[in-house]
Chain A
Amino acid sequence: MIQKMFSHIYLEKGLEVEASKFLKRFPDAILVPVSHYKNAFNSQKQDFRLQKLSPKLILAQKTSDFLYPGSHFSPSFGSENFYYNTLVLNCIYDCEYCYLQGMYPSANLVIFTNLDDFFRETKLKLTELGSLYLCISYDTDLLALEGVLGYCRKWIDFCQKEINLTIEIRTKSANFSAIKDLNPPKNCILAWTLSPNPVIQKWEKKTASLEHRIQSIKEALDFGWNVRLCIDPVLRYDGYAEDYENLIEKIHSNFEMERCTEICLGSFRMSGSYLKKMRDLLPKSAILHYPFQVKSGEARYPKEKHDELIDILQLKIKNLSPKAQVFVMD
């Protein structure tokens, strides 16, 4: 029998108090001491796919690299000082196309518990640069974990005080209810990744349905939050164009897209080395074995295919919501 999710909590020394909080949430979890989280997380020969059947929690302290410069695979939306952080490594969802499978040796979730150190380093960076655009939910889905961690709430509170900081919280959850009692700060953007239902059902396992995500977005907009829509990555498969057009129609039938700060469009793209690893992990995946063009270590759809899919989406958005701000990732 496969163990339950989070059946074990691996913890670095000194984090016993933190662990007790998690034990309240997962009372049957077994605690395993670890001298450094990397001993468990980076251990060789782990099977990422099998671990996804029963991911474990690893509680750790981050001691360096509290901020990373934004990757060119991700949009900066014109912000000069684009950074991201890694409060949690890995995600509770299981998207077939997710780069985390190529990036990490383990599917277990590492949770860094020393938030105060992250806040301190962020303040220092703000002092150094004057302003900061910080994505806090890139290598994980923080809002999906809000019931367990409460990190979004703390970061929203932090950015209320730091007016030169803009944070983005990206999610595929429908968990707005976890933060809806908070006052929406102007410098916080809730970014929802949206995909057509056939994509969610086939390739975004365990994520919220499109209907639930849209419901969450509507609620966030009604409560006055800045919302960004991310239709990214757009995937090519038989019938993709119709599915993505239906997606735009569905969004439009639920709320006006111009109410969102922007709609970000991007096609599948990834580091070539991650893709290679993921193809080995998932030899039966059709979307990962697409004949991408690999140039300068990056795998992408051929340009004309990228342009085609972006044009379809842009045209549809323009027809339904001409004033919506559309941002396209090249």
Chain B
Amino acid sequence: MTVAVCLFCSELRERKNRRVWNLGASGTREIARKIGSFYWINKVLDLASGREEFPSTLEKIGNFPESTLVTVDKPLLSDPKVEKIISEDCLFDMESFGFQVACSYLFPIDNIRIGKWVSDHLHQITEKELVKQSHQTYEILCKEVEKPLPWNISSEPDEFEAILLEAKEMGYTESMCFEVEACLRFFKNSYPNKNLPNLPRNTPDLALRKKNHKKWKDQFAL
């Protein structure tokens, strides 16, 4: 799953404001959950490790119910013991936990969603019924995935980059560079229409450079 996510990412230019969903089939023991019904997943338990992941529930997408899901590493059909262990009313699949973990390294966490159709009741896969029932949901989801996110994660270029580079070239220490950046942000956020101030004139004398920097920094303190 990690390899699949990485391959997918390598095709993408921009990830900050892109939805990344894993839609697929899942089994359940709960007969009341009809074949073809769709659920957004709000918790994924990895049965092998016992670890839990909680996919974001920030956004409401469509009017679908939610469910917890257990990721197993082999089909439950072939392992009645594992099936017995799990008494919860939940869905089962073999990929979601890996998907959630891998994506969380590459995408903002709130862009990641997992959605599952019920494909079987752990006894028999009823493919025809699944295809028929899930077709309509699939169409809705295809429209939703293309919609812009209701929030925007800024990806604007760093306007302070050039000044910070200049500071580094002038031999500013790391903490001095942090201070420069904070001062510039303070100035820009307080006076958005004014031009950014220049750094003090460079000097080879380290002590004088630090003194000039302090004087420069102090001018921002209201």
* Chain A interfacial positions (CB closer than 8 Å to B): 1-3, 7-8, 10, 30, 32-35, 39-40, 43-47, 50-51, 53-54, 56, 236-238, 240, 279, 283-286, 289-291, 301-302, 305
Contact = CB atoms under 8 A, between A and B. Distances in A.
A33 B66 CA distance: 12
B51 to A, nearest CB: 8
A238 B59 contact: no
A177 B21 CA distance: 46
Contacts of A1: 59-61, 150
A2 B43 contact: no
Nearest to A30: B66
A283 B43 contact: no
- Most B CB atoms within 10 A — which of A45, A236, A305? A45
20 contacts: A1-B59, A2-B59, A3-B57, A32-B43, A32-B54, A32-B57, A39-B52, A40-B52, A43-B53, A44-B104, A50-B151, A51-B58, A286-B189, A289-B189, A291-B182, A291-B183, A291-B186, A291-B218, A301-B221, A305-B222
B66 A50 contact: no
A283 to B, nearest CB: 6
Contact of B222 (A46, A51, A56, A290): A290
A45 B179 CA distance: 26
A32 B68 CA distance: 7
B217 interface: yes
Among all A-B residue pairs, the 9 with the closest Cβ atoms:
A289-B186, A286-B189, A289-B185, A286-B190, A291-B220, A39-B52, A289-B182, A45-B109, A1-B60
Interface size range of chain B in the complex: 20 to 34
B17 to A, nearest CB: 12
B108 interface: yes
Contact of B185 (A8, A46, A283): A283
Nearest to A1: B60
B58 A53 contact: yes
Interface string B178-194: 01001101100110000
B95 interface: no
A289 B190 CA distance: 10
Contacts of A43: 53-54
A120 B154 CA distance: 48
Contacts of B154: 283
A236 B52 contact: no
Interface in B181-222: 182-183, 185-186, 189-190, 217-218, 220-222
Contacts of A45: 104, 108-109
Nearest to B217: A291
Contact of A2 (B54, B58, B66, B221): B58
A190 to B, nearest CB: 33
Interface of B: 42-43, 52-54, 57-61, 66, 68, 88, 104, 108-110, 150-151, 154, 179, 182-183, 185-186, 189-190, 217-218, 220-222
A2 B150 contact: yes
A2 B53 CA distance: 21
Given A286-B186, A289-B183, A3 B54 contact: no
Contacts of A47: 108-110
B126 to A, nearest CB: 28
Contacts of A237: 190, 222
A34 B55 CA distance: 13
A279 B59 contact: no
A102 B55 CA distance: 22
Contacts of B58: 2-3, 50-51, 53-54
Given A236-B222, A289-B186, 9 more contacts: A3-B60, A236-B221, A279-B182, A283-B185, A289-B183, A289-B189, A290-B222, A291-B183, A291-B218
A53 B151 CA distance: 9
Contacts of B186: 286, 289-291
Nearest to A293: B221
A279 B218 contact: no
Contacts of B190: 237-238, 286
Contacts of A50: 58, 108, 110, 151
A40 B51 CA distance: 11
The listed residue with most A CB atoms (<10 A of its CB), out of B58, B61, B104, B179, is: B58
